[in-house]
Chain A
Amino acid sequence: MSTPARRRLMRDFRRLQEDPPAGVSGAPTDNNIMLWNAVIFGPSDTPFEDGTFKLTIEFTEEYPNKPPTVRFVSKMYHPNVYADGSICLDILQNRWSPTYDVSAILTSIQSLLHDPNPNSPANNEAAQKYRENRREYEKKVAQIVQQSWEEEDDDD
């Protein structure tokens, strides 16, 4: 069945393939265009460098007028990511605009890894460490970067 949301997602996919942004990738799951799997590579010059973080993106029929639900599947340690992997990011909530597409969402999350916002913490411990003890924060992040590779091995 073709609906405006599904047609738009097909176009999102085509644009993502034609003009892939650096360091992110995503594709719909095999039998459901409303559910996508995505990967964000940890941006270089950040503690997340070389990590491969998996996410799921779940769309509703209201897309693109309503934002999708984006969640990290890989374990994440970041001031703005909740324990269940959901993300506290303004453009995924009140600052959403229907002009955003999948590649815009993924690149925004990628830049969130770069620039956490410790003032609206979803993970208090991470936010505190980020502010007060950067070494400790980086150590914790290094652990989850390590874990992200191991998960990959499990999949193979």
Chain B
Amino acid sequence: MDLDDDILYEDDSGNESSENGDDQFMEMNMEPESSSSQKRDEVDDFQFEILTPDKIVSHMVDCIKEVNAVVEIPATTTRILLNHFRWDKEKLMERYYDGDQDKLFTEAHVISPHRSIVSKPKKTTRQTAAASSAEVTCEICFLSLPSKGLTGLECGHKFCTLCWTEYLTTKIMDEGMGQTISCAAHKCDILVDDATVMSLIRDPRVKLKYQHLITNSFVECNRLMRWCPAPDCGNAVKVAYSDAKPALCSCGHRFCFACGENWHEPVRCVWLKKWIRKCDDDSETSNWIAANTKECPKCRITIEKDGGCNHMICKNQNCKADFCWVCLGPWEPHGSSWYNCNRFDEDDAKKARDNQELSRSMLQRYLFYCNRYMNHMQSLKFEHKLYASIKVKMEEMQQHNMSWIEVQFLHKAVDVLCQCRQTLMFTYVFAFYLKKNNQSIIFEDNQKDLENSTETLSEFLERDITSELLVDIKQKVQDKYRYCESRRKVLLDHVYEGYDKDWWEYIDI
């Protein structure tokens, strides 16, 4: 096979970092820098490539070619094998040469291409076997057809092309199956390869859907690839190694490669996921219930008090317990003068109250962090609009004897502002799960500092910019955004150092 080595090399999706990356790492090691800043540099060096839908297909083809150059089996079979190994070429090669090949092919549901004699077609039912060689019955439509009108896979089950087409169309269009369509025969799990599908399907709509399904399974299965999660973006990101690092799609969307969420530095994927789940589900509803209602001490039904009298009679018809709302103890000992609630310190009642206190403070804690998280998110949305107003300002400044290059600081300032907002937003998620210790206090100080300076920068860009002298404002803004940038770096470095040195302790929620 004639292969272009250069292309293969470029598209190498092996899991080792490329040579290029190694060189940079070496250089970094030689620089006399602290370990934490080295770590940060590495984050910025996370290498990825944006693939458009066309490029995804050619990348897939190259992957297949590359493996094929070694194993030398039909390309369509290679694709099925690769898909079986989630496009991990090394793993495939290893199994292909180390183990039982027949077992490998059986596992992947393909017939071994090395089998010289195709196994005899199993005649499944009735007269078929007896039929003359000229006329064969298609086991799907039961029509007798000349044997050359029938086609099938290596498993030997043959059906007429019309039935094949109908079968594949149903599988593709109705069931959304691509890589996993098996032979139509009874209990046959041999997979239909893509060349067969493409030759049997005429309808361009079905062909297109099939191609989509194939590329989708290629990207989804591939550890080193991920679809850009932005709506209406058809690109995928390919990386050299899978990690929780930021990837920037050509559509402008920045996301975490490991989890696909918006880039969420400094909080880790697991905690962010927990946080999102917490915000989405109604666990806070149950927290509210716990904080604002009590349970009947007898039947445990939830009660919200709507009147002033503290003598409660449970409305649950099967319970009807009399109890005191204040101490949750039985009502009888209270008599007519319940104000001297003498059961106040009884253990059960105390426990109930403690639980309620706990839920209440948990709710307050959540609301505290959630409020701030949401607030920064909201500000971030507004500040994206600043790009438009800044553009007007920049044009105005250029008319006042400033060069294009001189006014670029404004654009940079908004960039920094948005970055800081995003970081701040996620610091609250990080802080929510954080247990208090000395390091967390330092973290909170860093957070406070960054928050403060970010607010000032925001104020400059939103308000002062219209009122003050252009030269003054340039100085002010530049100073401020540099300060913000450095505070952000300090905060992030501190968090990463903490990850390295296990400073962070988490609360159980």
Contacts and interface: CB of A to CB of B under 8 A. Distances in A.
A11 B142 contact: yes
A4 B138 CA distance: 14
Chain A contact-residue range equals 10 to 19
A97 B142 contact: no
A19 interface: yes
Interface stretch (A61-69, A115-123, A126-134, A137-145): A61-69
B124 interface: yes
A65 B186 CA distance: 12
B142 A62 contact: no
Interface residues of B, number: 18
B352 interface: no
B172 to A, nearest CB: 11
Does more than half of chain A's interface fall in helix, strand or loop, or is it mixed?
A: loop
Nearest to A97: B186
Contacts of A99: 124, 139-140, 184-186
B187 interface: yes
B435 to A, nearest CB: 46
Nearest to B170: A65
B141 A66 contact: no
A61 to B, nearest CB: 11
B280 interface: no
A101 to B, nearest CB: 7
A135 B188 CA distance: 38
Given A64-B140, A66-B174, A4 B186 contact: no
B499 interface: no
B142 A66 contact: no
Interface in B153-210: 163, 166-167, 170-171, 174, 184-188
Contact of A8 (B141, B170, B171): B141
Contacts of B171: 65
Nearest to B166: A65
A62 B174 contact: yes
B126 interface: yes
A100 interface: yes
Contact of B140 (A15, A66, A98): A98
Contacts of B184: 97-99
Given A12-B142, A62-B174, A97-B184, 8 more contacts: A7-B141, A8-B140, A19-B126, A65-B171, A98-B163, A98-B184, A99-B124, A99-B140
6 contacts: A4-B166, A8-B140, A62-B174, A66-B174, A97-B188, A99-B186
Q: Lowest 10 CB-CB distances: which A-B pairs, in order?
A: A65-B170, A11-B142, A99-B139, A98-B140, A97-B186, A98-B184, A99-B186, A65-B167, A98-B167, A99-B185
